[in-house]
Structure 1
């Protein structure tokens, strides 16, 4: 089947049998997302700009006033024009094919415009979230050797703090005008205004390097996952399935509260929408307000929403949403942690004609398993393999297949290798370990498969914490906590939490007796928020006299969980 038009299948078995990854010889996602549609004057992005408040007056004093939120619309042509201009500007700054460019921007138009500009030059995007603190940003920009970075004003100060530790970083571009941007940063608006569209787009293929996405592991530093352009076609195909094959050109409006730095939001929602010629809504907000979310979906006529399980649980707290809001919703999709049965039951009982589809993927391995209208939803199940992938349940030690109904490690094999990751950036041994000799990619997740082909998540083989849809590596949190002078040793694990799926719990061994436990807990939480990210701070902190360790001195996290 063609990559340009995702086929509609009424039958799951027929889809599994007939679907093929027919990737083109030449492929640049900037062209695919913006130029291939029948009508490029249609709206691609509806951006709701937050109102401003607490501005400074002419004397430098703060004066409180606010403005209403405003809605800006961008057609495919508008985005093509702006990304052309930014690409020309980046080229003038010395960015070349293969160079890495960081993108630290929330749900604002400048986020996808930067990615598109990168690909028009043949550069590699490094999606990063504004939620990252100093250490997290410094590590990723230094490790990827980013030569340029486009940043939101909210993180400009952090970038200046770490700039000397990122020797490859030559250019910082800050969102704003020449009047609002100072120092040696370039103003985003000024660069666009001073350059013309019409840049020659880089002659790319599905194998051309496209993005480095960082994923946290249980041991060692975060790993950069290098993908090629084929990544976006894999994500668009998955979205077509978990959004119920309802992404006809010009007919769907998509939204997610998830940060556009994350794979399922960026590739599985934003760029999937544009691949299929649909509209995306951008709405940068701090935190998640369920009433405001319903109101937004009503205002913009959102038909397809990707909602992490935590957001869905918060939406459950609003009474009679269909009675309060005039919703056009057709499908919720969700990923990041298994959906509990009560969430699925709530959607089915609360909404007259809204489906809910849990799906599963990894930063490395695309979106490979999920639910759809092809078969009955089994609450709590991950679903079944999407067309284009084979799965096996293997014994983690012997790599032999285990019988149905027994727990083993989920392994995946794509029908086209290119839709999976290229490599772990700078970690060839870890890249090799991800794939077995027989070609199966190991997920590190333990599952079981029943006699009807449904997959059921059991646990992870590593210690990664899934909290509110985010994957958190405990080592990063431990290292941040150890910066506190009062901490001798620490072990971090995930513990069950009704809202988040898992909460982060830190077992702290103090250096000396704790005089004020509440004060020390708050200092530790603040430290982690500042150094890493808002969602990585430990919700629970327990002080212990001694931590369990292995014979080599490593923290036994399994003992802490038990």
Structure 2
């Protein structure tokens, strides 16, 4: 199968039967995304600046700029296999850095500007990043933690020399100082491409190392959940989600460029539904990846088709279960807009989804996408369960390379992700009905799904305990109409002499500063004593049962 053009099938059944990964022998995503298109002078990115300006970049422009940055990184000593952090929001410098990395054979570490000092320090140190490209908003934080990241030699800040202080290199000046024309690294689908961090219920976040095959898996999935409508020169794609996250970076931005489509970049601190509609109208957005939280916020605007000149064809959504109310709202509000939920993991690509190939069943994750097989396993015995029984979702593919390679420096956890007969475990409890639709029930662990983010409760608990007035903390997810789940912290104070309102706000601010804006507890309850096991571990299940 040629990877310059995705195959077309007449039906889901035909696609399931005929699709094969058949990955190319040679593959560098920088070449695939930028150079294979018939007309590389077409617009690849339309970027609305925070002050309302508009910048446009063709595939040629991005190729030129990523060449220049690659030359600068090479001059700094960045080599194949080295890790380079990317802490940049929805700005052109974000993908330009990834593309430059891959032209050198370097490995990208996507990170969000929402991270606080502890979250950034851990990931940069754990990945042993030798260089990092940062937005001005996080420059001070990176400088603060730089001494705690032994491998970090170079910090590159967006802007020019007159706006960049200290020991950081100025991004724009580097592009001016170097020439395009770098020899692109001879890569294959097996070449390491990125380390993405995912939160678990125990221990610190795990680095998930992928190879270049990741991007082909994401592009194939997007072709399905965007209803096979990713047409070069005709389709415009946008998501409000941070480009640090897999579904936004690989399943939206780079999937669109694989297919030769235009992407809109629009960095914003928050999400305003009226602004979002206005943006989609201004840019004739046809395909939008919208996390469920964003979709729920869009419902607050009355009759959007009457108020805005929209060109929308498809909403795709993932990150948390999509409620039937949102699916019904899309069908009732828009004359001809599809809503397709899809499902995946940082480790296991995007493997289940809905599309116009078959009827959408509100509340269902959909069916396995072409190229994947699924099973529902007994969580204890790992034996397959029948239709209608609840068990752990397991996934396999006819090409293992579209899944992750390893948990970075964690061989035991890597081995535990897979069953003895080769099925990859998701940690999600699901049910498969008689027609093959999958229905999400819950996690097998304590991971919290909030506003499309996965939050490990242990990280939040540890951050809370940095407060001198917090003796113990237990963190769980609780139902929330907007976020899906909200974070609730049960805190055992270290003393009886405290003001609840003051301590509550101090705990929230502390978590925001140390971890991320989306990881702070929306609810904080103070208790005399927390339930623990005989070994002293917090019993989160007992806390959830209080709700």
With the shorter chain as reference, the TM-score category is over 0.9
Q: Secondary structure at the match of 1:179?
A: helix
Pick from 147, 163, 172 the counterpart of residue 180 of structure 1. 163
> 2:390 maps to what in 1?
407
Q: Distance in 2 between matches of 1:545 and 1:415?
A: 53
1:482 aligns with 2:438: no
Q: Distance in 2 between matches of 1:439 and 1:473?
A: 26
> 1:2 maps to what in 2?
2
Q: Secondary structure at the match of 1:488?
A: strand
Maintained 8 Å contact 1:336/1:469: yes
Per-residue deviation, 1:248 = 1.6
1:469 aligns with 2:452: yes
Maintained 8 Å contact 1:101/1:149: yes
Pick from 166, 170, 181 the counterpart of residue 153 of structure 2. 170
Structure 1's consecutive aligned runs of 4 or more residues displaced over 4 angstroms after TM superposition are: none
Q: Distance in 2 between matches of 1:413 and 1:88?
A: 39
Per-residue deviation, 1:514 = 4.6
> 2:329 maps to what in 1?
346
> 2:11 maps to what in 1?
11
Q: Distance in 2 between matches of 1:423 and 1:560?
A: 33
> 1:232 maps to what in 2?
215
Map 1:365-444 to 2 at 5 A.
Answer: 365-444=348-427
> 2:32 maps to what in 1?
32
Pick from 252, 259, 262 the counterpart of residue 235 of structure 2. 252
Q: Distance in 2 between matches of 1:164 and 1:184?
A: 13
> 1:550 maps to what in 2?
533
Q: Distance in 1 between matches of 2:268 and 2:441?
A: 33
Per-residue deviation, 1:470 = 0.3
Q: Distance in 2 between matches of 1:7 and 1:549?
A: 54
| Matched residues, number | 545
Q: Distance in 2 between matches of 1:399 and 1:514?
A: 50
> 1:46 maps to what in 2?
46
Q: Distance in 2 between matches of 1:9 and 1:445?
A: 30
Maintained 8 Å contact 1:83/1:117: yes
Per-residue deviation, 1:10 = 2.5
Map 1:298-377 to 2 at 5 A.
Answer: 298-377=281-360
Maintained 8 Å contact 1:3/1:21: no
Q: Distance in 1 between matches of 2:10 and 2:331?
A: 22
Alpha-carbon deviations, 1:277-296, whole Å to 9, x = none?
00000000001000000000
1:492 aligns with 2:475: yes
Task: Indicate the larger mover: 514-523 or 92-101.
Answer: 514-523
Q: Distance in 1 between matches of 2:394 and 2:231?
A: 32
Per-residue deviation, 1:3 = 2.3
> 2:272 maps to what in 1?
289
Q: Distance in 1 between matches of 2:144 and 2:111?
A: 17
Map 1:445-464 to 2 at 5 A.
Answer: 445-464=428-447
Structure 1 runs not aligned, ≥5 long: 52-68
TM-score, length-normalised on structure 2? 0.99
1:535 aligns with 2:535: no
Q: Secondary structure at the match of 2:163?
A: coil
TM-score, length-normalised on structure 1? 0.97
> 1:23 maps to what in 2?
23
